[in-house]
Chains A and B, each alone.
Chain A
Amino acid sequence: MAGLLQDKVILITGAGRGIGRAIAHLAAKEGAAILVNDFGVNVDGSQPSEGPAEEVAKEIRDAGGDAAANFGSVSDAKDAKAMIEQAVKEFGRIDGLVNNAGIDRARMIFNMSEDEWDAVLAVHLRGNFLCSRYASEQMAKQRAGTILGVTSGNGTFGTTGMTNYGSAKAAIIGMNMAMARELAPFGVRSNSYHIGAQTRMTAQGSDEERAAREAARKAAGVQRPMGSANRPGRPEDGAPLPVYLMSDEAAAISGRVFYMGTDSLGIYNDLYPARVMTKQDGWSVDDVTEFFSAGLGSGVTPFPSGPQASNPS
């Protein structure tokens, strides 16, 4: 039986370990030729190595699949361009790009260094852009292809201690919505998703930082991304979502945001202004104050509340 991705060519960044590796294996099983990219670094982005990408490519080939390895950095324009060129050279085209590569340097906003911002934004956001930039050129020529941006609950809901990561993950959604429009005339699709699993990255940070992230998640009513109550999430749990989104069965789906937890699967709402009030002759500050108490302010996050309410200010 032909697989869901039969004869497609898929590039997955950061596929040497964790979730990326799981997507690579499932996509290969569904019939795709895989370009396995991994810069081979630690979670903080240090110490590149060719080992992880080569190893996953070999695993796929040993299982009877088709795969090649790439060791470039997604945040380097030359490397990103070369990645797309390698896919075309080795396999003739590129049908899918999964912008999975990521690093993490969690820090409270008032302690975050310029380098911590730059490093995380470079890999997640600039890397997502560069690979998409060069892949979209090729896909537009082919009149076919799918680009997937990887977002996170840290981007959609916000998590304490993760302004760099959360901002990059939120920005990726905006990028993919714009790309969906720009690429639609060429038959190229773009979506964002996030899936949850326990990987070496989710184990990052001090005990306090992990506890703070967990508490924030609980307060926001967000499912724990690393697993359900019953079991921890495995890297392979969410892989069917990106594989499906790159298949021809998803040909009508573009510009949206999906998520997959250990047990759950869903779509995010679109953001639009709610509780809109109209005033044809324009607004004064007093008008806004009045309308805020009359309805605009209902349902917004009450503030100050909780521990900060006891502050002297």
Chain B
Amino acid sequence: MTGAGRGFGRAIAKALAGAGASIVAVDLPAHEADNSATVEAIKGAGGTAIAVAADTSSMDGGNQAVRAAVDAYGALDVLVCTAEVVRPGSIMDISVEDWDAALDGTLKAAFTCVREASVVMRTQRSGRILLATSGLGLSRLANNEGLVSTATAAAGIAGIVRAVSKDLARYGVAVNGVDLDAVTDAHDRGSPWTPAGETTGSVEDVTALPVFLALTEAGGQVTGETFAVSRERIGVYARYRQDIVAARPGGWNMDQVKQYFATLDAAERLSHVSVQGYSGAGVPA
């Protein structure tokens, strides 16, 4: 479990331990106190856990995390990545340093652990990988304004899920994404699919789906999907689909492309195309 010192990571680590799993709690060296508290809480409840201080934004860190599991328990059955570095800012004003910190600490941190875990799980011919992502990067209805780095990392993690599930299918390793919607220090945007007025839960309220996917028999029979969970709701994200397809054997010229879009417009499809609240005309100078 990466990001185990706080928020979703701690809650899911505790829930997995409560369901009988032995935990390797991984978090940044700077979060060592929090991470130790997670391990102590698990042990206090009669569970098994060790703490590993590692920065998984480098391959060395990912390797350290995975090796710790194999060294301590002789196997790695489940990898859950919730490590996330949040750096608010819009595309116009985010600094390059903040961008790199967010992308390295979230997207690359997932990659290094998945890569190192895939080596072990491929040899085992079994394993499950669960990566935390966010609707902020998946739906254009999401309120992701000012969180371009978060949206980008989340979308990239969903991309890892789709690609790696294909690489590892023949080895019996399942890879899925989870969009966890709850109130944490880092998240207060809510989810585009949770109706206004519905109470947003705590991190403890969204652990049942990750535990299901990580440990149950039925939960091991799915791969390449991204699920969404909030206190009251569970769903599975639609897969990408190419819609409103028009085909012209022989190809398209500029006028024909214009005509295609004009047809969409006439069918009022373009009203679904524009960003909510955006009007192309009359922008004040």
Chain A positions near chain B (C-beta within 8 angstroms): 4, 26, 30, 77, 108-110, 112-114, 117-118, 121, 125-126, 129-130, 132-133, 136-137, 140, 143-144, 154-164, 166-175, 177-187, 189, 216, 222-223, 228, 230, 237, 240-241, 243-244, 249-257, 259-260, 262-280, 282-285, 287-289, 291-293, 296-297, 299-304, 306-308, 311-313
Contact = CB atoms under 8 A, between A and B. Distances in A.
Nearest to A156: B240
A228 to B, nearest CB: 7
B278 to A, nearest CB: 4
A183 B225 contact: no
Contacts of A170: 155-156, 158-160, 162
B78 interface: no
B193 A273 contact: yes
A237 B252 contact: yes
Contacts of B244: 266-267
Contact of B107 (A166, A171, A249): A171
A241 B261 CA distance: 10
Given A163-B160, A272-B238, A312-B125, A182 B90 contact: yes
B284 interface: yes
B140 interface: yes
A108 B210 CA distance: 26
A271 B240 contact: yes
A256 B156 contact: no
B163 interface: yes
30 contacts: A4-B258, A77-B96, A110-B119, A113-B59, A144-B283, A162-B163, A163-B163, A166-B159, A186-B283, A244-B258, A251-B281, A252-B273, A252-B274, A253-B273, A255-B275, A263-B248, A264-B242, A268-B240, A270-B140, A272-B139, A272-B237, A272-B238, A273-B233, A278-B232, A283-B208, A283-B209, A285-B208, A285-B211, A311-B125, A313-B125
Nearest to A241: B257
Contacts of B145: 178, 181-182
Given A173-B155, A276-B193, A291-B234, 17 more contacts: A113-B59, A117-B108, A133-B96, A157-B162, A158-B162, A174-B153, A237-B252, A254-B274, A255-B274, A262-B251, A264-B246, A264-B247, A264-B248, A269-B243, A270-B140, A282-B232, A297-B218
Given A162-B163, A263-B250, A110 B280 contact: no
A146 B230 CA distance: 35
Nearest to B159: A170
B118 interface: yes
Contact of A169 (B90, B159, B215): B159
Contacts of A161: 167
A144 B280 CA distance: 9
Interface string B21-43: 00000000000000000000000
Given A163-B160, A178-B148, A265 B91 contact: no
Contacts, number: 383
Contacts of A307: 170
A308 B169 contact: yes
B63 to A, nearest CB: 10
Contacts of B13: none
Contact of B169 (A164, A167, A264, A303): A303
A270 B244 CA distance: 13
Contacts of A112: 115
Given A181-B145, A285-B216, A277 B172 contact: no
Contact of B258 (A167, A249, A292): A249
Interface of B: 19, 58-59, 90-92, 94, 96, 99-100, 103, 107-108, 111-112, 114-115, 118-119, 122, 124-126, 135-148, 151-172, 174, 179, 192-193, 201, 205, 208-209, 211-212, 215-216, 218-229, 231-254, 256-258, 260-261, 264, 269-270, 273-275, 277-281, 283-285
B233 A272 contact: no
A13 to B, nearest CB: 16
B283 A178 contact: no
A154 B280 CA distance: 31
Contacts of A253: 261, 270, 273-274
A117 to B, nearest CB: 6
Contacts of B212: 285, 288-289, 292
Contacts of B274: 252-255
A117 B209 contact: no
B214 to A, nearest CB: 10
A10 to B, nearest CB: 15
Given A254-B275, A255-B140, A268-B243, A304 B160 contact: no
B223 A301 contact: yes
Contacts of B143: 181
6 pairs of A and B residues whose beta carbons are closest in the complex: A174-B155, A170-B159, A158-B162, A273-B235, A171-B156, A174-B137
